Structure 1
Amino acid sequence: MHPLNQFAKTKLGINYLYPKQILVIHQLIESFKSRNNDEAINNHIYVMPTGAGKSLCFTLPGLICHTQTLIILPIRALVEDQHRRLREQGLDVVKIMGRVDKDLIKEQFNKLSPNGFILATPESLLNPQFDYIIQSHKIGFMICDEAHTISQWGLTFRPTLLELGKIRSKMTMAVCGAFTATATPQVQQDIKKHLFNDHSAIELLSSPLRDNLRLFYIKVLDPLVSLYHLLNKTPIVSISKEDQTLILYLTNSCILIFVSTRNTAEILCHQIRKRYPERDVFYYHAGLEIDQKKHIEKEYMISTNAILVATCAYGLGIDKKDIGLVIHYQEPEDPESYLQEAGRAGRNGDTAASVVFVQSCKKESFLHQKKCRYETLMEYFDHTLSYCPGCDICHSSHSKKSYSLKAVQLIHRYYHYDSIKETSKWLKGLRSLHNPYSPFIPGYGHLKHWVMDDIISISDKKFNSKIRRDKDYYYP
Structure 2
Amino acid sequence: MDGLDPVGEYARDAFGIPYLYPYQRLVIANVLDAIEADADNGPVNQVVILPTGAGKSLCFQLPAALCPGPTLVVYPLLGLMADQAARLAAVGVTATVLKGGMTIPERESAFRDIGSGKARVIISNPETVGVPRVLELLKHASVFHFVVDEAHCVAEWGDGFRPAYLRLGDAIRSIAPRIVTAFTATASPPILARVSELLFTDRPYLLVSGAPDRPNIRYEVRPALSMRRALLTAVSGMPRPAIVFAPSRPGVQILAEDLRASIPGIDARFYHAGLEKAEKTTIETWFMSSRDGVLCSTCAYGLGMDKANIRTVIHFGPPSSVEAYLQESGRAGRDGNQAFAVMLRKATPGDFRAGSVTATPAQSSGVVASSADARKAIAQSRARIMEAYATGDYGCRRRFLLKGLGYDDADAVSCSSCDDCEGFAMRTAPGSREIASLARIHARRFTAREAASFLICEPGSPARRHRGALVGWNRDEVEEGIATAASIGLIRVRTRQPWKGRIASARITRTRARTPTQSGKTSSSSISSVDAAGASFAFFGSLKERLSRRRSSPRQGSAT
TM-score normalised according to structure 1 size: 0.84
Conserved? CA contact 2:138–2:175, under 8 Å = yes
1:334-356 alpha-carbon deviations (Å, 9 max, x no partner): 11211111111111111111111
Query: 1:163-213 CA distances to partner (integer Å, 9 max, x unpaired)?
Result: 111221123243211001111222222222211233221111333211111
Following superposition, the deviation at residue 362 of structure 1 comes to 9.5
Change (3 A) 1:396 1:102: farther
- Change over 3 Å in CA distance of 1:183–1:118 after alignment to 2: same
Equivalent residue number for residue 376 of structure 2: none
Partner residue, 1:158: 162
Please list, as runs of the form range in 1=range in 2, the aligned pairs for 1:282-297 lying within 5 A after superposition: 282-297=269-284
Partner in structure 2 of residue 409 of structure 1: 436
- Work out whether 1:273 is the aligned partner of 2:273: no
1:35-434 pair list within 5 angstroms: 35-39=37-41, 42-65=44-67, 67-101=69-103, 103-111=105-113, 114=118, 116-233=120-237, 248=238, 250=239, 253-359=240-346, 361=348, 364=384, 365-367=387-389, 368-371=391-394, 372-383=396-407, 384-385=409-410, 386-387=412-413, 388-397=415-424, 404-416=431-443
How much does 1:461 deviate? Answer: 2.9
2:453 and 2:307 map into 1 onto residues whose CA distance is 43
Q: Structure 2 stretches of 5 or more lacking a match?
A: 351-383, 492-507, 510-525, 529-560
Letter in 1 for 2:58: L
Counterpart amino acid of residue 146 in structure 1? E
The structural deviation recorded for 1:264 is 0.8
CA distance 1:420–1:188, change in 2 (3 Å) = closer
Point out where structure 1 has 5 or more consecutive residues left out of the alignment.
Answer: 234-247
CA contact (8 A) 1:257 1:326 kept: yes
Alignment CA distance shift 1:462-1:353 (3 Å):
same
State the shift of 1:379 in Å: 2.2
Instruction: Kindly indicate whether residue 479 of structure 2 is the aligned counterpart of residue 457 of structure 1.
Output: yes
- Distance in 2, matches of 1:400 and 1:177, equals 43
2:519 is matched with which residue? none
SS in structure 2 at match of 1:153: helix
Instruction: Map Cα deviations across residues 352-371 of structure 1 (whole Å, 9 max, x no partner).
Output: 11111122649853323322
Deviation at 1:445, TM superposition (A): 6.2
Q: What RMSD in Å do the two structures reach over aligned CA positions?
A: 3.0
1:451, distance to aligned residue in structure 2 (A) = 3.9
Cα contact 1:94–1:105 (8 A) shared by 2: no
The range that moved more, 300-309 or 35-44, is 35-44
Amino acid of the structure 2 residue aligned with 1:111: D
Partner of 1:98, secondary structure, is: coil
The answer on whether the counterparts of 1:145 and 1:179 sit within 8 Å (CA) in structure 2 is yes
Q: Which moved more, 1:460-469 or 1:185-194?
A: 460-469
The offset of 1:109, in angstroms, is 4.2
Answer with 389-398 or 140-149: which moved more.
Answer: 389-398
Is this contact kept in 2: 1:414–1:423, CA < 8 A?
Answer: no
Amino acid of the residue matched to residue 338 of structure 2?
T
SS in structure 2 of the partner of residue 170 of structure 1? helix
For 2:74 and 2:20, the matched residues in 1 are separated by: 24
Aligned to 1:18: 21
| Alpha-carbon contact 2:453-2:475 (below 8 Å) kept | no
Structure-2-length-normalised TM-score: 0.73
Distance 2:251 2:477 in 1: 23
Q: Offset at 1:62?
A: 0.9
Amino acid at match of 2:52: T
Is 2:332–2:339's contact at 8 Å kept on the other side of the alignment? yes
Question: Once the two structures are aligned, what percentage of the paired residues are identical?
Answer: 29
Residue aligned with 1:200, SS = coil
Higher alpha-carbon deviation: 165-174 or 120-129:
165-174
Letter paired with 2:420: I
Shift of 1:56: 0.9
Shift in Å, 1:419: 7.1
Counterpart CA distance in 2 for 1:152 and 1:393 is: 30
Report deviation, 1:137.
Answer: 4.1
Give distance in 2, aligned partners of 1:398 and 1:311.
Answer: 26
Secondary structure (helix, strand or coil) at the match of 1:34 reads coil
CA displacement 1:27-60 (0-9 Å, x = unmatched): 22222x2234545861111111111111111111
Residues 432 and 485 in structure 2, CA contact (< 8 A), matched pair in contact too = no
- Rounded to whole Å, the distance in 2 between the matches of 1:427 and 1:2 is 70
**Counterpart of 1:22 in structure 2: which amino acid?**
R
> Structure 2 CA distance, aligned partners of 1:172 and 1:4?
26
Deviation track 1:385-440 (CA, whole Å, cap 9, x = no partner) reads 12223222222245987764333333334444567677667755x6967656x6xx
Structure 1 residues 287-333: Cα deviation after superposition (integer angstroms, max 9, x where no partner): 11111111111111111111111111223242211111111112211
3-state SS of 2:24 partner = helix
**What is the SS of the residue equivalent to 2:311?**
strand
CA-CA distance at 1:24 after TM superposition: 1.6
